[in-house]
Structure 1
Amino acid sequence: MSLTNQTIVITGATSGIGYQLVKQLAPQNQIIALARCPQKLAELAQTFSNIQTIQVDLGDPDALETKTKELITRAQPIDILINNAAIQNTPAFIDTDFNYQTISREITVNFTSVCQLTYLLLPQILASKQGKIVNINSGLALAPKSQSAIYCACKSAMFSLTLSLRYQLAQSHLSVQQALLPLVDTAMTQGRGQHKLTAQEAAERIIMGIQTNQLDHFIGKVKLLSWLKRFSPSFAYRLMQNA
């Protein structure tokens, strides 16, 4: 599949992987960028042509529904929806700095908003001749780590959602894909881990997976993790526990 002259919705579009996706896709496609910060969205619109911006907090389900309805009224087919946005809180439940108030927001941004956008935009994606839903996932969907339990659970839920949607839409022309990433060097992972994939590299590999229609795209070290999970699940879990 050639990624040209496509209408592509990207969440979390103003930083990290989302920004790199916009940077690499905008020259030959129409981008609809969703993000929370109006200033960063304005900068994005000034930097790239062929881009529409929608300011929305994915942690607010009502606001997301309202903004999505505004997009629906434009009545244009959507070729690709890329569910990229994510947040991650690292404290464990037993840590003194764990914040109870963050639980609902983390689940909403990382998973509920994906369900909402997919459902609300599905008619427009089905209206495309080669529609795709692409969920940006993590190796933590395969094996969680001890910290960031809610983030890990959301990524596992996204894996399951992706497969279920694929089953539900099997009789349609729509493709449901996911890219499972290793640790990527973004603001969210600052100060954690080594030998991280750059956001630019992650975006390049995501785009390659879309072009080649890789349904479950295991990127970088996640390929090894997938193999370990298949042949030695207990070892894979031990390996990822303190990742």
Structure 2
Amino acid sequence: MQIAGKMVLVTGGTDGIGRQLALQLLARGADVWITGRDPERLARARAEGMDAIAADLTGPDGIEAVLRGLAGRSLDILINNAGMGTDHDFRIATPDVAGDDRTLWLNVHAPIRLIVALMATLQTRPEAMIVNVTSGLAIAPSAGAPVYCATKAAMRSYTQSLRAQMKGTRVHVLEALPPLVDTAMTSGRGGRKLSAQDCAAQIVAAIEASADEANVGMVRILKAVNQVAPWLARRIMIGF
């Protein structure tokens, strides 16, 4: 896909992978719109040449805010990047169900609602794309983050079905599966982390190539292991 001249919406575009995606797409000539919650970060994005919509996508009001902000505009690329994790480990403490609900909303309900609301617009464009950012944990889960893993697995399944529905249309569907990335969400966690900049670069390359999947970094190895021996992939990741 040609990125220059395209209008792109990146949810969660003020930090981490989303911010790097927005910056790299802007550098390629896209008209970049982002969503976020932090006023200072939104202001920074506007100063850098992006349009920014203040929206909390952990509930339905955030969806309405995005749709109001985009009203009357022709969107070419929707990148559902915003995501969060929540502590849900009975070995440590009783899980916070309110946190679980926010995670389910942001990671599953929000992207699906945006896709439904924006599909008609996307279908009018000469070429369009939906990019759903899931995770390597959508392939095989870890024991310590079952709700997060479940949301990403749900979006992986949804994305695969949506791609089949959109076959032969103007709307291409791409799933991006990052590994452990050095962001605020993974702060304090050990292990080898990919930089947000490198992660975004691989996703942008997949957009330009109109790929079906962007298996980023070490996820390429995980995907290969899972294809040959799914039990081994699960064993490797369950303690991650």
**Counterpart amino acid of residue 57 in structure 2:** L
1:42 aligns with 2:43: yes
Distance across 2 between alignment mates of 1:72 and 1:33: 11
| Greater than 2 Å deviation, 4+ residue runs | none
Whether the aligned pair in 2 keeps the contact of 1:87 and 1:110 (CA below 8 Å) is yes
Paired residue for 1:137, among 127, 134, 143? 134
**Secondary structure at the counterpart of residue 85 of structure 1:** coil
Counterpart residue number, 1:6: 6
Paired residue for 1:150, among 142, 147, 156? 147
1:155-194 to structure 2, matched below 5 A, reads: 155-194=152-191
1:81-100 CA-partner distances (Å, limit 9, x unpaired): 00001101234134325312
Larger displacement relative to structure 2 (202-211 or 165-174): 165-174
**Counterpart amino acid of residue 7 in structure 1:** M
**Counterpart amino acid of residue 71 in structure 1:** G
Distance across 2 between alignment mates of 1:89 and 1:26: 31
1:216-227 to structure 2, matched below 5 A, reads: 216-227=213-224
Counterpart residue number, 2:196: 199
Counterpart residue number, 2:68: 70
Whether the aligned pair in 2 keeps the contact of 1:78 and 1:127 (CA below 8 Å) is no
Report sequence identity in percent: 33
- How far 1:169 moved relative to its partner? 1.5
Larger displacement relative to structure 2 (144-153 or 193-202): 193-202
Larger displacement relative to structure 2 (177-186 or 121-130): 121-130
Superposed CA RMSD? 1.3
1:123 aligns with 2:120: yes
Distance across 2 between alignment mates of 1:233 and 1:166: 23
**Secondary structure at the counterpart of residue 177 of structure 2:** strand
Counterpart residue number, 2:102: 105
- How far 1:184 moved relative to its partner? 0.4
Distance across 1 between alignment mates of 2:100 and 2:211: 32
Consecutive unaligned residues in structure 2, runs of 5 or more = none
1:60 aligns with 2:53: no
**Secondary structure at the counterpart of residue 97 of structure 2:** coil
Whether the aligned pair in 1 keeps the contact of 2:199 and 2:217 (CA below 8 Å) is no
Distance across 1 between alignment mates of 2:44 and 2:237: 38
Whether the aligned pair in 2 keeps the contact of 1:183 and 1:193 (CA below 8 Å) is no
**Secondary structure at the counterpart of residue 145 of structure 1:** coil
1:229 aligns with 2:226: yes
1:77-134 CA-partner distances (Å, limit 9, x unpaired): 2110000011012341343253122111110011110101111111111121110000
1:170-201 CA-partner distances (Å, limit 9, x unpaired): 23111000111110000101111322110000
Q: TM-score, normalised by structure 1?
A: 0.94
**Secondary structure at the counterpart of residue 125 of structure 1:** helix
Distance across 1 between alignment mates of 2:78 and 2:184: 23
Distance across 1 between alignment mates of 2:87 and 2:166: 35
Counterpart residue number, 1:215: 212
- How far 1:216 moved relative to its partner? 1.6
Whether the aligned pair in 2 keeps the contact of 1:136 and 1:178 (CA below 8 Å) is yes
Whether the aligned pair in 1 keeps the contact of 2:58 and 2:106 (CA below 8 Å) is yes
**Counterpart amino acid of residue 149 in structure 2:** C
- How far 1:15 moved relative to its partner? 0.4
- How far 1:64 moved relative to its partner? 2.5
**Secondary structure at the counterpart of residue 81 of structure 1:** strand
1:80 aligns with 2:77: yes
